[in-house]
Amino acid sequence: MVSIKDIAKKAGVSISTVSYALNGSPKVTEETRRRILAVAEELKYVPNAAARTLKKRETKVIGLYLTDFGGAFYGDLLQGVKEVLNQKGYDLIVCSGKRSHRFLPERTIDGAIVLDATFSDKELLKYAEMGKKIVVLDRELDHPNINHVLLDNKAGATLAMEYLWEMGHRRIFVVTGPSDSYDSNQRLKAVRQFAERHNLEVTQVDGLFTKESGELAAERIFPECGETAAVFCLNDEMAIGMYNFFRKTDLVVGRHIHIIGFDNIELAEYVSPRLATIDYSKRKWGALASEQLIKMLHGQSVEHERIYVRLVPGDSVGSLPNR
C-alpha cells in the first residue's frame, strides 16, 4: 500500500509536509500543496484509517445498534439518522448482535445509538463509564454519557384506548411485549391507568412483539372472547399476527374482532382491513438521536427530547352501535 511516506519521497518533501498538505493546513504553500496532491493522485494514495484513528483517537463513524437489522420497521429511522450524521461529517454503520458490541470499547466507532434490547443496561453503563457517548432509544438510563430520546408511549397508549372506548368497546384485551421491554411496560402502564379511570376491566395477554406471539395470543383470546372483543396489541407486528390467526376462523377483523396496534409500520397500511394504530415520525426519532449524539461528542450539553404520537384510525376497529 502506498503511504504518505512514498508521497514524501517522490515529491521531495518531508512526511509532515505531506500530512499538512493533505489535511489542508494553511501552513503549506499553495505551490507545494499542488505538487503533493498531484503526486498523491498519481500514486493512487488512500489514507489508512487505522493509523489515523490510532493517532487522532476518533473515527468519525458512529454505530447504530438494532435488534435484528430491524426488518421493515426501521427504514425511516435509518434515513433520519443517516441524513443528520452525514451532514455533520460522520458516517453510519448499522450493527446487530452481541459480537459487534466490541466496536464501542475498541474505538471502531466514536459513539452509539442503541435500539436493541440485547444490549444490556449494565454493558451500556460500563462503556459510558469508559467515556463512550451513547444515545438510547428504548430505555432510560442515568449517566452523564448517556442520553435518550423516547416515544411518548403513554400518550400513544391512551390515544389507542380512547379510540376503542369511543367506538363503544368495553370488552378489551391488551397484548404486551416482552416483560423487559421498556416500551411495552410504559404502554401497559397507560392502559392500566385508563382502565382505572374508566372503571374498565382489561384482560392482559403476554406476547413478545413478534408476529408469531400475536397469532398465539389470538388463539388464546379466541375461545373466551365470545361474539365480540377489542384487542390493543402493543405493537403492529403482533396485530398482524392476529390477522393471520383470524383469517383461519370465521371471525372477521373490524366486525367481530377489533384490533388496534402501535408503531404504524408499513404493513399496517396494506393489510386489510387497514390496521388502526399509533403513528410517530421514525425519521425524526433518528434525526434527534443523531443530533444529540453529535452534541455529546462535541462536549455540548443536550436535553432529553420526546417524540410525539398520533392516532391513525383504521377499519380494523369497527364501532359498536347500541350501547
Partner DNA sequence: AATGTGAGTCGAAACGTTTCGATGAAACCG
Partner DNA sequence: CGGTTTCATCGAAACGTTTCGACTCACATT
Alpha-carbon distance of 75 to 260, in angstroms, equals 22
Alpha-carbon distance of 294 to 157, in angstroms, equals 31
Using DSSP bridges, classify how beta strands 309-312 and 277-280 pair: parallel, antiparallel or unpaired.
antiparallel
Chosen residue from 4, 21, 40, 92 binding a second copy by CB under 8 A: 92
Question: What contacts 24+ positions apart, CB below 8 Å, involve 80-84?
Answer: 80/282, 80/283, 80/284, 80/285, 80/286, 80/287, 80/290, 81/113, 81/286, 81/287, 81/289, 81/290, 82/286, 83/287, 84/286, 84/287, 84/290, 84/291, 84/294
Q: Identify what 26 binds: a second copy, DNA, none; CB under 5 to 8 Å per kind.
A: DNA
Quote the Cα angle for 135-301-185, to 5°: 35
Binding of DNA at residue 13 (CB under 7 A)?
yes
Residue 63, beta-bridge partner list:
93, 112
Of 58 and 180, nearer to DNA (C-beta) is 58
CB of 120 to DNA, least distance (A): 24
Tell me the per-residue interface mask from 42 to 81 with DNA, x by CB under 7 A, - otherwise.
---xxxx--xx-xxx-------------------------
Binding of DNA at residue 12 (CB under 7 A)?
yes
Binding region for DNA (CB under 7 A) out of 14-22, 119-127, 140-148, 279-287:
14-22
Contact, 40 vs 250, CB < 8 A?
A: no
Binders of a second copy among residues 116 to 145 (CB under 8 A) are: 130
Q: Identify what 67 binds: a second copy, DNA, none; CB under 5 to 8 Å per kind.
A: none
Binding of DNA at residue 108 (CB under 7 A)?
no
Q: What share of the chain is helix, strand, coil (3-state, %, to 5)?
A: 45, 20, 35
Of 18 and 81, nearer to DNA (C-beta) is 18
Binders of a second copy among residues 259 to 298 (CB under 8 A) are: 266-267, 270-272
Binding of DNA at residue 39 (CB under 7 A)?
no
CB of 131 to DNA, least distance (A): 12
Q: Identify what 145 binds: DNA, a second copy, none; CB under 5 to 8 Å per kind.
A: none
Binding of a second copy at residue 252 (CB under 8 A)?
no
Of 73 and 90, nearer to DNA (C-beta) is 90
User: How many other CB atoms sit within 10 Å of the CB of residue 180?
Assistant: 11
SS3 per residue for 205-256: ECCCCCHHHHHHHHHHHHHHCCCCEEEEECCHHHHHHHHHHHHCCCCCECCC
Q: Identify what 266 binds: a second copy, DNA, none; CB under 5 to 8 Å per kind.
A: a second copy
Of 23 and 120, nearer to DNA (C-beta) is 23
Binding of a second copy at residue 61 (CB under 8 A)?
yes
Binding region for a second copy (CB under 8 A) out of 63-71, 141-149, 165-173, 305-313:
63-71
CB of 301 to a second copy, least distance (A): 24
Give the CA distances from residue 156 to residues 12, 17, 261, in Å, rounded to whole numbers and listed in that order: 66, 58, 10
Alpha-carbon distance of 234 to 111, in angstroms, equals 30
Footprint on this chain of DNA (rule: CB under 7 A): 1, 3-5, 12-17, 19-20, 22-23, 26-29, 31-32, 45-48, 51-52, 54-56
Footprint of a second copy (CB under 8 A) = 44, 46-51, 53-54, 59, 61, 63, 68-72, 74-75, 78-79, 82, 86, 91-97, 99-100, 102-103, 105-108, 130, 240, 243, 266-267, 270-272
